[in-house]
Amino acid sequence: ASDVDGAWVGTWRPHRPRGPIMAQFTSPGPKYSIPGTTGYLVHNPTKTKAPAYTFQRAKAPGTDSCSPGPRYYVQPSITRNGKYVAPAQHMGGLPKITTEVTPGPSEYRFSSTS
């Protein structure tokens, strides 16, 4: 027997395993020739599959342009907050303050209503 055949057990005194190591088989074992029920690709067709997680690549990043397309021309002064208007000064006077004419404290007359 050659030293390369099969799996060796232990590093201190290597020897052949006494029985089959179940971790080396994907099916229920060497005694039964039925496919295993674990995994998604090589699954037993007589058993139902449950949803499986997949590791896929991330989605491609979106484009930098969010314009509605060549059919619509959006004015450059239109922003997401509305139309952009530069701050400006105006040369108007202050508004005239109007005060209402109200009676003073001595104008009230207290009379008994009885």
Instruction: Measure the CA–CA gap between 55 and 110, rounded to whole angstroms.
Output: 89
Could you tell me the pLDDT band of residue 112, with boundaries at 50, 70 and 90?
A: low
Instruction: Measure the CA–CA gap between 99 and 102, rounded to whole angstroms.
Output: 9
Q: Tell me which residue of 1, 23, 25 sits closest to 14, measured CA to CA.
A: 1
More confident residue, 64 or 18: 18
Residues of the chain above pLDDT 90, percent:
0
What amino acid occupies position 86? A
Q: What angle do CA 101, 106, 107 make, to 5 degrees?
A: 55
